[in-house]
Amino acid sequence: MNYSCSLQVYEDRVGKFRFRIVDKSNGNILAKSTTGFNTRGQIDRLIVKINAPHNVQRWQSEVTGDYWWKIVSDTSCVIETLIMSSEGYTNTEHCARMSRKVLQNTKELKVNAAS
């Protein structure tokens, strides 16, 4: 299945820039930033990091039993969470498929203002 995603950047209530990766076909939020940024340019640099060597980590919530994923940088001594799933998934296969979906689309992402 082919997916198309967009990167939406928005300013939160405290004046920090955040982003989310959205499935263009249905509007579902697939991933979100784990922190706020002072400038939009910092988000561009983060996307470059996502396309650099990285690790995808998956885990199961002890509370809900849902599976989650996140992309972490593995280019330095400090592990940095780059993006994280916006929701939990009921099984590991779906979780893995959604993380691959986002990764396959990061090279095509273009910054769009959130609506």
Q: Block means of pLDDT (10 residues each) for the chain, length 115 residues?
A: 74 90 84 86 77 77 88 64 81 83 67 45
Angstrom distance (rounded) from CA 7 to CA 30: 10
Of 60, 104, 50, 36, nearest in space to 80 by CA: 50
pTM over 0.85: no
The full set of domains in the chain, from first to last, is 5-113 (2.30.29.80)
